[in-house]
Amino acid sequence: MAVVTMRQLLESGVHFGHQTRRWNPKMKRFIMTERNGIYIIDLQQSLTYLNEAYDFVKQTVAHGGTILFVGTKKQAQEAIAEQATRVGMPYVNHRWLGGMLTNFQTVSKRLARMKELEEVDFDDVAGSGRTKKELLMMRREFDKLQKELGGIRDMQKVPSAVWVVDTKKEHLAVTEARKLGLPVVAILDTNCDPDEVDYKIPGNDDAIRSVTLLTRVVADAVADGLMARSGGGSTDGETAESEPMAEWERELLAGEETAAATDAPADATAEAPAEQATQAEAQEAVAEQAPATDTPQS
């Protein structure tokens, strides 16, 4: 059974790539077509690769591994923190500090300092034996450490693998992971380099709904791995609410379902078709994603 449906991917805008003038030719094999100047990603491939990534993450965690969630862009910060926290995994959602993986020994010292500052009552000037100015400086130091390292507070060692949202922006994290031989699981937008990623998930890494859905699926895989580790059963992911699709998106969904039925027997009940949207709504759907693709990548 698929860990996510084609309809969920479509409704979350996972199929929207970057504008055609901003792409990596290596991504050509993952692109199905072009519409209104924007590449449309082949979601059938996305489903296949997503299932492979899900199985890898589940097995890694089931065997005692940890997954580091990384996504510092605005669209990913909330989902990264929320989903990683839900399954007890470390995360980085503000700024990647150079050496966070390759120089973890030094990072561990900063974590120890942060935990030391956690014990300080910054408002107790009289009982602390420190001046008000000293406490103020210590509070600022703690706030900075908490913002930069709070997500990896309990990470005792280098993780087993890394989940990355936007490999171009998080190129430092990807480089460090590859240097240490850590598997990289990541969303591949049409401007990314697939050679940098071990477990590829072709999809939109700019839209909040897309990033949230894919990060939730990875977190669900972690949850399944934790259940398997403890001898329990698997968990079921949440189902996204249905929304009307644009006409061309419905045609895309119908075409993919027909192809899937031809290649293999269907093992799930077909979902009811969404209400037909107007052509204007299709244009709005594309326009909604276009601004995100205009933002230059770091």
- Do 24 and 63 belong to one domain? yes
pLDDT of 157 reads 93
- Do 137 and 108 belong to one domain? yes
DSSP-based three-state secondary structure for 259: helix
pLDDT of 256 reads 54
> Please, what is the average pLDDT of the chain?
82
| Cβ(67)–Cβ(161) below 8 Å | yes
Beta-bridged to residue 200, according to DSSP, are 186
Q: CATH number of the domain that 263 lies in? A: 3.40.50.10490
pLDDT of 276 reads 38
Assigned domain for 1 exists = no
Residue-wise pLDDT for 85-97, tens only, equals: 999 999 999 999 9
pLDDT of 29 reads 94
pLDDT of 123 reads 79
Residue-wise pLDDT for 91-140, tens only, equals: 999 999 999 999 999 999 999 999 999 888 887 776 777 788 888 998 99
pLDDT exceeds 50 at position 270: no
Q: Examine the fold and report which residue of 137, 152, 167 is the final residue of a domain before the chain moves on.
A: 152
- Do 229 and 285 belong to one domain? yes
- 259/239 Cα distance (integer angstroms): 24
Assigned domain for 170 exists = yes
**Residue 132: which domain range?**
104-152
Average pLDDT of the segment spanning 222-246: 64
Assigned domain for 287 exists = yes
Cα dihedral 21/27/30/35 (nearest 10): 0
Residues in Cβ contact with 278 at an 8 Å cutoff, skipping those fewer than 6 apart = 247
Task: Name the strands in the sheet holding 38-41, side by side, starting at the edge strand that comes first in the sequence.
Answer: 16-19, 38-41, 31-35
Assigned domain for 111 exists = yes
Q: Considering the entire predicted model, what is its pTM?
A: 0.76
Beta-bridged to residue 69, according to DSSP, are 91, 163
Q: How many structural domains comprise the chain? A: 2
| Cβ(221)–Cβ(3) below 8 Å | yes
- 55/66 Cα distance (integer angstroms): 14
pLDDT exceeds 90 at position 80: yes
Cα dihedral 46/13/74/2 (nearest 10): -40
Residue-wise pLDDT for 36-64, tens only, equals: 899 999 999 999 999 999 999 999 999 99
